[in-house]
Amino acid sequence: MTETVDDRLRRLRTELDGHARIARHLGLDFERPVRSLGDGYPENTIALIGKISERLLKQLWTHHEVLGDPSGKALNDLIKGCRPHIRSTNVLNALTDIQRLRNRSTHDGYDIAEEDGLLAVRRLLDVLEWFTSTGVTAITGEAPALNPLVERKAEFLAGLYTTLGYRLIKRFELSESTVYQLFCRQAGLQVDYVEIIIGRNVGELDQLLAATGGELLQTRLPKLTRFLIVDDEPPAEAAPCPDGQVRIVAYDRFVERIVDVPAHLAALAHSSPTPGAGAEVTVAADVLETDPRTGDLTVTETDDAAAILRRLVGSSANVLVIGGPGSGKTTLLHRLAIDGADPSTHRYRFYLDLSLKGHDEQFADFVTRVLGPHVKVPRNRVFDVFLYLIRAGSVLCVLDAIDEAVANTSLPAFLDLFADVAQAISAESTVVLSSRYSFLADSPQVRRLLNSSTLISEKLVQQLHAGGVDPLELPRFSVVRLDDVEIHRDTRAYTASPLELLLAEQTGHDDGLADEQTGRLAALVAARVDQVLTDSGLPQVGPKLDACLGAAFLADRSVFTLAELCTELGIDCFTDGRVTADTFLLAPLFRQAGPAAVAPVHTVFQEYFAARHLRAPAGRAAAAQLGEPFLTEQVRRFLHHLGTETPTGVPPLVLPAGTYLLGPSHRLLLRTLDRPVLFDEHPVTVGRYKRFLAAVERDGCATFDHSDTPAEHTHSPWAERLRNPAYFTDPAYDDHPVTCVNWWSAHAFARFEGKRLPTCVEWEAAARGTDGRLFPWGDALDLTAVNCADSYSGHPLVTYEVWKQEIDSGQLRDSAPTSVMAPPTNRSPFGVRGMAGNVWEWTATLFEDINSAVICGGSYDNPYRAVQTSSKGLYRRRGASNAVGFRCVQDLP
């Protein structure tokens, strides 16, 4: 064992001698840590290497004028500060390993072995090789003799080959515009060499090549790859080396020898939508900026979306594109990646469709899977090359459909996703994200994230630092919101999404575009599906599509092999019994998603199948068994439009046992109720509550009180809180909802009537029915159906700031509860009335650690958007408000 270690130490000494110029320039002793290891003190070796690393990073810190004084900073802080200037993942990992080893060596609980010391020296060599190969003059001490542009090219290529696992073993500057580099990589017994000369043009180097007989500097090495890199594309007849061993390549095209960007983009062009002439439309877009006074997003520019995107990416700004389903996001980003980016700004372009990424799949694995076929390096190096190009700048990276790569559309889920893809965010390159959820732009947290001024996720900050990106140096994301297309026909003007226009053209349903109902997209998708099934002679396959694609969407699957589809849909879906892409009769409903794999042609098609699957109680029950099925707002909209199969013979006001779609649009859930519940038709009124008070005064309330009711509690309304002192004394208010009573009193009243409070799940299920509607009466906006703040203001209160301004200005001072009998349209599918607005309602769902209960439904002083069936809040149980009442339920056998 000792002999083996000594042999390795000799090799390490030899390799360290190759970096003697760095040692001389910085006054470092590379021999000492190796000598300590040979003497049997690996902990001293690690400590010395830690100090050497600190010295290197302090020099780099000063060279790049990083803010702050590096002299007193620890290794961890030095690594963080210098990360943006080290574009090699391998070097960053090496520095992290050195830090980890030093931390272990100073901890009494760890034994440091010889292998730990050897690893520390090996990782130091990785760091030194990077600085040597990239020629950082602050580290090497050599003043650059090359032209700065040639120096940058040499540095880029050296970094690229270091990323691929090579070491720079020779470098000569032949003139101010010509440099020679020799790289070596050893893998087991195989040794590969790459030899490169960078110059201006073929003519300038022809004499050199002729003088050496075609051998670059008389080098004779096995398995040699030779490149002559020039400024411009060489003419076809240029061949200074007759044997063809030297490849002449333009610098801007050199990366294509490693990354086949044209092939990647060609595959993208093949899968890009190809609308007919009638669907060739111009999509308008707004550029949104944050108002520094109100925090609202305001429109600063309106123009053709394609022109806006080209301008923004040309200025190296990062971009977030938002638009509803079918708004044309993917088509725009396809074109941007294929031919819309300026080659002088973006030499390399990548398009990554995150709808094809599994929720449990790491971003690095996804990138490797997508780009692997187009990157001519070992598979374990694909992501490293991708990151290197990103960090080196000049890259346009499109991350399409980020919302389809999260398990749910909550803010924490998106922040986790941002943390994962943060590796691809760069201050030098341009990143374009797209999402169908506007709440990403509406969210103050995400807005701060995108503005990079205050990053709220420590995990995201750490990922950015780990990726060599200083969060404060990131360019601010520009938010681009896509608009529908405005169409003028005859005397009418209306709007439609590009997808609706395409589907209308394909199906011949142009007349349906004039129909402004919310189910227009569902009708067009259904018409397209029926058209393809009819044309292929497979109308019977419709239910199988629902079961196969719909259930798969809920299980977060969007990519299918042709063999799987054959099994699920039947061999009749393929001509001649051959399972190939060319023989697939349902191909118009799908797009390529890899070798022998397809995905639905547009996400809304699979969402439509998912909604059809959820129509039946059995489908909802099966989906609920998934735990947290993948549900989107578009699935909910389709489900409401299609309607659900409801059990017959259910009496009015009874909420049947079954599975229900609940939750806000960004966090939809399926929840199952095991037994039926009978709801009160109306909230408890003042008149009913007064009868309860009379009974309490006569007989006491011990029988009805909750066991945790405070001893001094009284069930009388909190008179000091009443905005209307006559509310409980004037009979005119007897049909108004009871208010200013706390949870303890609501619980006692329910028991007084032989009932109970509903849970928040029961309450919401009774309010929205089995089709997941937004309001008890449906999805349509109807201010006449609800008592809310917008009714008193006389105009929509779209944002929190506008609503707060209405309150502060006194515009809502006259708002108050109204009779539980009006309006009659505020009625749920089960006949329960008044479940939106008027007053919040107590539920039995408790958060006992904070002594609070869930309230549902919104109230008269809330804006319209806050009185949806999914609206919930938390209120302390002892609280009493003019805006909070309750209703009761009974369990049924």
pLDDT interval class at 444 (50, 70, 90): low
Same domain? For 603 and 683 the reply is: no
Q: Which structural domain range is residue 618 located in?
A: 492-498+510-635
**Residue in 612, 605, 575 with CA at minimum distance from that of residue 589:** 605
Angle at 322 (CA atoms; ends 316, 324), nearest 5 degrees: 155
pLDDT in tens, 245-254: 678 888 888 8
pLDDT interval class at 296 (50, 70, 90): low
> From CA 593, how far away is CA 404, in angstroms rounded?
15
> From CA 341, how far away is CA 346, in angstroms rounded?
7
pLDDT at 242: 45
> From CA 261, how far away is CA 449, in angstroms rounded?
31
pLDDT at 247: 81
Q: Where are the alpha helices (DSSP H) in 319-391?
A: 329-335, 363-371, 382-391
Same domain? For 476 and 538 the reply is: no
**Residue in 379, 401, 382, 364 with CA at minimum distance from that of residue 593:** 401
Last residue of a domain, one of 635, 661, 695: 635
For residue 870, give every residue at least 6 positions away whose Cβ sits within 8 Å of its Cβ, in sequence order, or none: 662, 663, 664, 665, 764, 768, 774
pLDDT interval class at 218 (50, 70, 90): low
Within-domain flag for 646: no
- Checking if the pLDDT of 818 tops 80, the result is yes
pLDDT at 240: 47
Angle at 406 (CA atoms; ends 465, 640), nearest 5 degrees: 150
Can you tell me the mean pLDDT for 553-563? 92
599: part of which helix (H) or strand (E)? strand 597-600
pLDDT at 516: 60
The answer to whether the beta carbons of residues 196 and 171 sit under 8 Å apart is: no
Chain-centre distance of CA 551, in angstroms? 23
Within-domain flag for 674: no
**Average pLDDT value over all residues in the chain:** 83
CA-based torsion, 732, 736, 740, 746: positive or negative: positive
Last residue of a domain, one of 85, 110, 135: 135
Q: What is the number of domains present in the chain?
A: 5
Can you tell me the mean pLDDT for 71-85? 85
β-partners of residue 286 are 302, 481
SS (H, E, C) 215-268: CHHHCCCCCEEEEEEECCCCCCCCCCCCCCCEEEEEHHHHHHHCECHHHHHHHH
Using the 8-state DSSP alphabet, how is residue 648 labeled? T
Same domain? For 719 and 806 the reply is: yes
Same domain? For 218 and 185 the reply is: yes
Answer with the residue of higher pLDDT: 208 or 849. 849
Q: Which residues of 704-722 are buried (b: 16+ CB within 10 A; e: fewer)?
A: bbeeebeeeeebebbeeee
pLDDT at 323: 86
pLDDT in tens, 328-361: 898 899 888 887 666 667 778 899 999 888 878 8
Strand order across the beta sheet in which 319-322 lies: 297-304, 284-290, 478-482, 319-322, 430-435, 395-400, 348-353
Within-domain flag for 562: yes
Q: Is 613 helix (H, G, I), strand (E, B) or coil?
A: helix
- Checking if the pLDDT of 549 tops 90, the result is yes
**Residue in 143, 141, 140 with CA at minimum distance from that of residue 168:** 140
Q: Is 43 helix (H, G, I), strand (E, B) or coil?
A: helix
Torsion of CA 829, 831, 836, 841, to 10 degrees: -120
Q: Is 365 helix (H, G, I), strand (E, B) or coil?
A: helix
| Choice among 41-55, 421-435, 735-749 with the minimum mean pLDDT | 421-435
The answer to whether the beta carbons of residues 430 and 316 sit under 8 Å apart is: yes
The answer to whether the beta carbons of residues 299 and 317 sit under 8 Å apart is: no
pLDDT in tens, 490-502: 677 778 888 988 8
Torsion of CA 696, 698, 699, 701, to 10 degrees: 20
pLDDT interval class at 531 (50, 70, 90): very high
Same domain? For 703 and 828 the reply is: yes
- Checking if the pLDDT of 684 tops 90, the result is yes
Can you tell me the mean pLDDT for 656-666? 91
> From CA 541, how far away is CA 292, in angstroms rounded?
55
Note if the bond before 823 is cis, omega within 30 degrees. yes
Using the 8-state DSSP alphabet, how is residue 810 labeled? T
Same domain? For 93 and 183 the reply is: no
- Checking if the pLDDT of 571 tops 90, the result is yes
For residue 27, give every residue at least 6 positions away whose Cβ sits within 8 Å of its Cβ, in sequence order, or none: none
What share of the chain in percent tops pLDDT 90?
Answer: 35
The answer to whether the beta carbons of residues 765 and 758 sit under 8 Å apart is: no
Same domain? For 105 and 220 the reply is: no
| Choice among 270-274, 295-299, 316-320, 798-802 with the minimum mean pLDDT | 270-274
Give the CATH number, domain containing residue 835.
3.90.1580.10
pLDDT at 221: 67
For the record, the structure tokens of 423 come out as: 């590796």
The answer to whether the beta carbons of residues 434 and 330 sit under 8 Å apart is: yes
Q: What angle separates helix 148-163 from helix 89-105, to the nearest 10 degrees?
A: 60
| Choice among 66-75, 168-177, 723-732 with the minimum mean pLDDT | 168-177
Within-domain flag for 505: no
| Choice among 34-38, 270-274, 381-385, 620-624 with the minimum mean pLDDT | 270-274
**Residue in 299, 266, 254 with CA at minimum distance from that of residue 161:** 254
Backbone φ and ψ for 710, nearest 5 degrees, come out as: -55, 145
pTM summary value: 0.75
CA atoms within 13 A on the CB side of 401: 22
pLDDT at 22: 83
pLDDT interval class at 456 (50, 70, 90): very low
Can you tell me the mean pLDDT for 807-826? 85
pLDDT in tens, 826-884: 999 999 999 999 999 999 999 999 999 999 999 998 888 889 999 999 999 999 999 99
The answer to whether the beta carbons of residues 288 and 299 sit under 8 Å apart is: yes
Give the CATH number, domain containing residue 383.
3.40.50
pLDDT in tens, 745-784: 999 999 999 999 999 999 999 999 999 999 999 988 888 8
Same domain? For 863 and 759 the reply is: yes
Same domain? For 709 and 617 the reply is: no
Total residue length of the chain: 893
CA-based torsion, 730, 731, 732, 735: positive or negative: positive
For the record, the structure tokens of 11 come out as: 């090799």
Same domain? For 270 and 242 the reply is: no
pLDDT interval class at 302 (50, 70, 90): confident
Within-domain flag for 383: yes
Within-domain flag for 565: yes
For the record, the structure tokens of 414 come out as: 């998106």
Last residue of a domain, one of 95, 110, 135: 135
For the record, the structure tokens of 711 come out as: 């001893």
Q: Is 450 helix (H, G, I), strand (E, B) or coil?
A: helix
Using the 8-state DSSP alphabet, how is residue 759 labeled? P
Q: Is 433 helix (H, G, I), strand (E, B) or coil?
A: strand
- Checking if the pLDDT of 297 tops 70, the result is no
Same domain? For 515 and 459 the reply is: no
> From CA 319, how far away is CA 69, in angstroms rounded?
34
Same domain? For 522 and 468 the reply is: no
